């Protein structure tokens, strides 16, 4: 089982090191190979996604990814910015389905900004379409950009588009995921304003005919943003486009206390996947040894489950994470009175120990 390990920038290197440490003690036949990506790759090779990194990613069964980006690259022309690496990997590997579970661990109920009764027992799954929408449309302005900005320009625009097959395949993923859960899908759109999302709604409704056992609800994105903080437990599976999914999944992540807790998986049609924490490279805390590595460790568990078919090992990691939380160990982002503050490395060590 070959894994491409791409730590990236900022806290990426710190948190991926902890996930690799955990994977190594599982005694599975995992072959792990590191490569540069993002700002680190730009510094070394002049491109955020060098050919060698892309080749390694393509020939691996799964990719364990940290995070990319730093404010110091904001002046770069957009195609050279670190964030383009992740878009390039998604596009080149056809990683169209992004799974972001938002689970509230019992031990962290107090870390959420919402009332405990609203989030205790929360377990929702946001499925975000990842290779279409406005993020992959035609951006106007690239040709005229100077240092990534548009001095003197009068306008800029990006194009929102979705094709029928793109919507169909993500809708199937959502209905199939719901079948294994509470059998309810909320499709989030903006059909009242955007043609693209009226089309989205029509296609999702059409696909739903094949899943009569699953309940389908349509919701406008502004209402969904509101309902997520009002009554989050009313959701089961949420499916939406790339941009709305980007925003709603971050919102959902905060319901659980910290973005440092949330894993994600991005899969293609052959279950090859990229696994990464839902958060970014957190330049504000990079190098301080205080980042929460649990989202990345839990992403490694998702990798074992979805791409490497190692359900038992995945469960072993998830149970170990529960155990360290039960022991009261907390990185700074989830720390509260009465718990023990630990560093990134100490948290990784504790998970290794809890694996038994």
Smallest separation (angstroms) from ligand NAD to the CB of 108: 13
Indicate the residue among 95 and 177 with the shorter CB distance to ligand NAD: 95
Catalytic-residue membership of 135: yes
Mapping DSSP onto H, E and C, the string for 113-157 reads CCCHHHHCCCEEEEEEECCCHHHHCCCECHHHCECCECCCCCCCE
Catalytic-residue membership of 275: no
| DSSP 8-state secondary structure symbol assigned to residue 205 | H
93 contact partners, CB below 8 Å, separation of at least 6: 57, 58, 63, 268, 272, 274
Catalytic-role residue among 105, 246, 341, 349: 246
Smallest separation (angstroms) from ligand NAD to the CB of 8: 6
Catalytic-residue membership of 190: yes
Smallest separation (angstroms) from ligand NAD to the CB of 266: 10
Catalytic-role residue among 42, 73, 135, 275: 135
Mapping DSSP onto H, E and C, the string for 200-260 reads HHHHHHHHHCCCCCCEEEEEEHHHHHHHHHHCHHHCCEEEECHHHHHHHHHHHHHHCCCHH
Indicate the residue among 17 and 219 with the shorter CB distance to ligand NAD: 17
Catalytic-residue membership of 133: no
Binding site for ligand NAD (CB under 6 A): 11, 15, 67-70, 83, 86, 259-260, 276, 279-285, 291-292, 295, 333
Indicate the residue among 101 and 280 with the shorter CB distance to ligand NAD: 280
Smallest separation (angstroms) from ligand NAD to the CB of 258: 6
Catalytic-role residue among 222, 230, 288, 353: 222
Catalytic-role residue among 61, 190, 201, 333: 190
Catalytic-role residue among 21, 250, 341, 349: 250
Indicate the residue among 11 and 56 with the shorter CB distance to ligand NAD: 11
Inter-CA distances, 55 with 21, 41, 92, Å: 24, 14, 10
Smallest separation (angstroms) from ligand NAD to the CB of 180: 26
CA–CA separation, 87 and 90 (whole Å): 5
Measure CA 113 to chain center.
21
CA–CA separation, 259 and 204 (whole Å): 29
Where in the sequence numbering do the catalytic residues fall?
135, 190, 222, 246, 250
């Amino acid at each position: 089982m070959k894994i491409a390990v791409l730590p990236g920038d900022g806290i990426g290197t710190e948190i991926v090191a902890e996930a690799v440490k955990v994977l190594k003690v599982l005694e599975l036949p995992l072959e792990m190979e590191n490569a540069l990506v993002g700002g680190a790759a730009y510094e070394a090779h002049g491109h955020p996604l060098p050919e060698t990194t892309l080749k390694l990613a393509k020939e691996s069964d799964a990719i364990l990814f940290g995070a990319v980006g730093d404010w110091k690259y904001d002046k770069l022309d957009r195609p050279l910015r670190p964030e383009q690496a992740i878009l390039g990997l998604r596009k080149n590997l056809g990683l169209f389905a992004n799974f972001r579970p938002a689970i509230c661990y019992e031990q962290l109920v107090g870390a959420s900004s919402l009332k405990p009764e609203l989030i205790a027992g929360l377990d929702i799954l946001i499925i975000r379409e990842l290779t279409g929408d406005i993020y992959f449309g035609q951006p106007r302005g690239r040709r005229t950009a100077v240092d990534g900005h548009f001095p003197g320009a009068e306008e800029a625009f990006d194009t929102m588009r979705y094709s029928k097959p793109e919507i169909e395949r993500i809708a199937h993923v959502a209905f199939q995921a719901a079948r294994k859960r509470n059998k309810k899908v909320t499709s989030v759109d903006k059909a009242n304003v955007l043609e693209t999302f009226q089309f989205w709604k029509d296609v999702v409704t059409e696909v739903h005919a094949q899943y009569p056992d699953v309940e389908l609800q349509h919701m406008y994105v502004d209402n969904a943003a509101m309902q997520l903080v009002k009554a989050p437990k009313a959701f089961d599976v949420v499916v939406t486009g790339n941009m709305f999914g980007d925003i709603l999944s971050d919102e959902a992540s905060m319901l659980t206390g910290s973005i440092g807790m949330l894993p994600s998986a991005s899969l293609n049609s052959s279950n090859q996947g990229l696994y990464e924490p839902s958060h970014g490279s957190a330049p504000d805390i990079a190098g301080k040894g205080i980042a929460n590595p649990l989202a990345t460790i839990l992403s490694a568990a998702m990798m074992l489950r979805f791409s490497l078919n190692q359900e038992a090992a995945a469960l072993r990691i998830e149970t170990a994470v529960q155990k360290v939380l039960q022991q009261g160990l907390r990185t700074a982002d989830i720390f509260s009175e009465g718990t023990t503050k630990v560093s990134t490395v100490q948290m990784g060590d504790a998970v290794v120990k809890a694996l038994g």
